[in-house]
Amino acid sequence: MSAPPIEQRGKLVEEVVVPAREARVATARAGQVLQIVDLEGQQVGDLMAYLTEDPTEYMSPGHTLSCLTKLMPETGDEVFSNHRTPLLRIVRDDVGTHDMIVPCCDPERYSRDYGIEDHPSCLASLQKALGEAGSKFAAPGESAWNVFMNNKHEEGRVVTHEPEHGAGAAMDLEVLEDVTVALSACPQDLTPCNAFNPTPMAIRVWEPGG
């Protein structure tokens, strides 16, 4: 029933390696497949996405949870914008755990909770990468989808566990609208979020073939 993996039926048109503790930007067009890859394993990526033509419309985890009426998106589910437009559809998910509740880590997370003033953060990395790509897109922390994050909901609490997935784990997202995306390889090394060892990731854009 399901289509073969995109590696077998598509052509790689772009690969952007996201170094550990940094973020990078890529663009994808409707009909392509956006692939988020954990190169070494047990790593979380914080993903933001914007309509390329109108970045005031962007991927919204909150709206996605509302549209899906569930806490964890699954294969086959769409991911929605702040105007409830489907932007992406999950077509493959090697990991199956994601967080769409907590905002990405930000400078205040480290200063307030750990007393560290200069720790890298997903929010600062994403804003820097978007800025270097020439974007003036707003990047609110709550618009990031915490891809591969192993958060569990336990008796009303959100508990972060070490990710269990290995090197090469990927998620394929069918692109439904032309989007510009930014991915942070989360630098959190003070909680189990990235198994205390932040590592690089990759964004791959595939053109499906016949």
Cβ closest to Zn ion, residue 17 vs residue 176 = 17
Those residues with Cβ within 8 angstroms of residue 132's Cβ, 6 or more apart along the chain or in another chain: 25
What's the closest the beta carbon of residue 107 comes to Zn ion, in angstroms?
Answer: 11
What's the closest the beta carbon of residue 18 comes to Zn ion, in angstroms?
Answer: 12
Taking a C-beta distance cutoff of 8 angstroms, is the pair 109, 22 a contact?
no
Binding segment toward Zn ion, per CB under 5 A, in 1-9, 16-24, 66-74, 119-127:
119-127
Cβ closest to Zn ion, residue 33 vs residue 186 = 186
The reply on whether position 18 binds Zn ion by CB under 5 A is: no
What's the closest the beta carbon of residue 59 comes to Zn ion, in angstroms?
Answer: 16
What's the closest the beta carbon of residue 46 comes to Zn ion, in angstroms?
Answer: 5
Binding segment toward Zn ion, per CB under 5 A, in 9-17, 57-65, 114-122, 125-133:
114-122
Q: Looking only at residues 76 through 105 of this chain, which bind Zn ion when binding is defined by CB under 5 A?
A: 105
Taking a C-beta distance cutoff of 8 angstroms, is the pair 32, 207 a contact?
yes
Binding segment toward Zn ion, per CB under 5 A, in 64-72, 165-173, 188-196, 199-207:
188-196
What's the closest the beta carbon of residue 185 comes to Zn ion, in angstroms?
Answer: 9
Written in H, E and C, the secondary structure of the chain is CCCCCHHHHEEEEEEEEECCCCEEEEEECCCCEEEEEECCECCCEEEEEEECCEEEEEECHHHHHHHHCCCCCCCCCEEEECCCCEEEEEEEECCCCCECCCCCCCHHHHHHHHCCCCCCCHHHHHHHHHHHCCCCCCCCHHHCEEECCEEEEECCEEEEECCCCECCCEEEEEECCCEEEEEEECCCCCCHHHCCCCCCEEEEEEEECC
The reply on whether position 122 binds Zn ion by CB under 5 A is: yes
The reply on whether position 186 binds Zn ion by CB under 5 A is: yes
The reply on whether position 139 binds Zn ion by CB under 5 A is: no
Binding segment toward Zn ion, per CB under 5 A, in 24-32, 76-84, 95-103, 180-188:
180-188
Count of residues near Zn ion by CB under 5 A? 4
Tokens representing 32 are 């392509």
Contacts with Zn ion, residue ranges (CB under 5 A): 105, 122, 186, 188
